Amino acid sequence: MAESEEEDAEAWLRLKPVEPLPSQCCGSGCSPCVFDLYYRDLERWETARARNDRSLLSGKQPPESQGCSAKLSPETFLAFHISTMEKVTKDTYLVRFTLPGNSRLGLHPGQHLILRGVVDGLEIQRAYTPISPVTAEGYFDILIKCYQTGLMSRYVESWRTGDTAFWRGPFGSFSYEPKKHGELLMLAAGTGLAPMVPILQSITDNEDDETFVTLVGCFKTFEGIYLKTFFQEQARFWNVRTFFVLSQEVSPEQLPWSYRDKTHFGRLGQELVAELVACCRRKPFTLVCGSPAFNEDMARCLLSAGLTEDSYFLF
How far apart are alpha carbons 158 and 162 in whole angstroms?
A: 12
How do the pLDDT tens digits run along the chain, 315 residues long?
555 666 667 776 776 766 666 666 666 666 676 666 766 666 666 777 777 776 666 554 444 444 444 578 888 899 999 999 999 988 999 999 999 888 999 899 989 999 999 888 888 999 999 999 999 999 999 999 999 888 899 999 999 999 999 999 999 888 899 999 999 999 999 999 999 999 999 999 999 999 999 999 999 999 999 999 999 999 999 999 999 999 998 888 889 988 998 999 999 999 999 999 999 988 999 999 999 999 999 999 999 999 999 999 999
Is residue 251 a contact partner of residue 271, using CB atoms and an 8 Å limit? no
How far apart are alpha carbons 78 and 71 in whole angstroms?
A: 8
Question: Model-level pTM?
Answer: 0.78
How far apart are alpha carbons 124 and 24 in whole angstroms?
A: 5
Considering the domain delimited by 78-168, tell me its CATH architecture: Beta Barrel (2.40)
| CATH 3.40.50.80 residue spans of the chain | 183-314
Q: Any binding-site annotation on 145?
A: yes
Q: Any binding-site annotation on 143?
A: yes
| CATH 2.40.30.10 residue spans of the chain | 78-168
Among 221, 245, 242, 220, CA closest to 231:
242
Q: Any binding-site annotation on 152?
A: yes
Q: What residues contact 147, with CB distance under 8 A and at least 6 apart?
A: 91, 153
The H or E element containing residue 153 is: helix 151-157
Instruction: Report whether CATH 3.40.50.80 matches the domain 183-314.
Output: yes
